[in-house]
Structure 1
Amino acid sequence: MANGSELSPRRQATAAIAAFTATGQLPQLRDALADGLDTGLTVTEINEILVQMYAYAGFPRALNGLGAFMALLQERRDSGIDDPAGEPPTPLPAGTDMLALGTENQTRLSGRPVTGPLFDFAPAIDEFLKAHLFGDIFARDTLDWQSREVATVAALATLDGVESQLRSHLGIALNAGLSPADLHGLVATLRSRVGQAASDRAGDLLDQVLAGSDD
């Protein structure tokens, strides 16, 4: 598969936006943002991709991405382009227990309860992951879980030294409903739009994950 054709144009754009936000390559990100708008992503959906990136690449990268997006939208407005705003996330019921909700989401996505010595050693990070990442962020329905995992895998594939997390999220992507063909398409998208290193990293780990799922 040479061109990522198994992945929809919207998800190909999502992958590119996430990858270039994570690496801080703002000229390439600007092009990816424009492509995302042109393929039908709304302003709200792209904002959600950029906001989510702070959990994987840090606040500085996410803030820089949002700044680049604001500037691009202003340029497009000045040129007479009216990009659709999109819908805000559906509010959660008052009093929602975000730790309980996030734990449920994390368990569904991971396929099992997530525990281990690291979380016993640092309980705060366990709570933040459950209550905030899988609760506050993944509970927002602006993006579906498949799109969130496309963004997460694309971002992690660009970063050195996070192979364990990338492998985990490739498995989560399958649990979220992405098919092996979708993920091969994501690898091909990374190769054609982001770079060989990110594609190779994701492709090698995807082969391992798929081989394990066949056991």
Structure 2
Amino acid sequence: MNSEQRTSAAPISTDDRYERGLALLREVSGGKHEAVLGGLSDIAPDLARYTAEFAYGDLYARPGLSYRQRQLTIVAALAAMGNAAPQLRFHIDAALNVGCTRAEIMETLIHVCVFAGFPATLNGLTAAREVFEAAPEETSAPAAPAATKDQAGDRFQRGRAALEHIDGHAGQQVIDSLKDIAPDLARYVIEFSFGDIYSRPGLDLKTRELVTVAICTALGTAGPQLRVHLHGLLNVGGSEAEAVEVITQMTAYAGFPAALNGITAAREVFAQRSAGAQG
């Protein structure tokens, strides 16, 4: 069964976590799983086993996200953290294996610059270039779309509309909080983050918010922004279950503390929305 046919992480038929994880790792990596496990056999064989059992047999095998969604969120998180170049290259390659296009991968990396800065995106693009060059048979795949003439119009108005649609009241609170101390920063948030980046056509808004939740969780320093974008994910059609799944996935890439803090933020957002709906 190829990666185009397997679009969601349905559990593999075995009760053995290691075998289940190894089979899934082999499938997602296109048979390049030795790049992950082989280098550990002589120094940390238990870590190799945990990687297969937990990262893939437990986490990746969960049914809450498609393989494509998982890979784009992992790529975004690794690029944003900026400290795992080999793993980033591995997961960019895996993203191609499960059906992500080069355009989607490039767009995900461009999106990272809003939350982790331009160096993180530039390093991520360098990793992507290396992976793409090693797969010459796919050089005809489309690149990330450039801004059109229409998109280059009124950035502020376009950004304001996107902010209201995606983040709603939570996003406006951020803008309002900056007016008395850094009004230019408020304008940049609207014009660049939403007018330029969020308005690009390369990813749908739900995918952008899944990616953003992954980034903010993995960084571990963006609790308020994570809450805003959890609202955003729910506003553009994401579910609470998908939000929890993205945060849970980050356990393998950013650690349990980051995931636990992310779940605390999600609990607060869900309770706030529930209270608002009841009111």
Asked if TM exceeds 0.5, the reply is: yes
Larger radius of gyration: 2
CA distance in 1: counterparts of 2:251 and 2:217, whole angstroms: 11
C-alpha deviations, 1:114-149, integer Å up to 9, x for none? Answer: 142323311111111111111111111110011111
Matched, 1:183 2:240: no
Give the conservation status (yes or no) of the 8 Å contact 1:16–1:194. no
CA RMSD of aligned residues (A): 2.2
Identity of aligned residues (%): 29
Matched, 1:58 2:114: no
| Residue 18 (structure 1) aligns with | 76
Cα shift at 1:197? 2.8
CA distance in 2: counterparts of 1:94 and 1:164, whole angstroms: 29
- How many residues align? The count is 213
CA distance 1:92–1:201, change in 2 (3 Å):
farther
Matched, 1:109 2:109: no
Give the conservation status (yes or no) of the 8 Å contact 1:56–1:155. yes
Matched to 2:257, the amino acid is A
Matched to 2:97, the amino acid is D
TM-score by length of 1: 0.90
Matched, 1:155 2:215: yes
For structure 1, which runs of at least 5 residues remain unmatched after alignment?
Answer: none
CA distance in 2: counterparts of 1:12 and 1:94, whole angstroms: 29
C-alpha deviations, 1:63-82, integer Å up to 9, x for none? Answer: 111001101111222xx555
TM-score by length of 2: 0.70
- Greater RCO (Cα-Cα under 8 Å, separation 6 or more): 1
Cα shift at 1:201? 2.1
| Residue 200 (structure 1) aligns with | 260
C-alpha deviations, 1:53-105, integer Å up to 9, x for none? Answer: 1111111111111001101111222xx55573367367352763110010011
Q: State the SS of the aligned residue for 2:219.
A: coil
C-alpha deviations, 1:1-24, integer Å up to 9, x for none? Answer: 954421111111111001100111
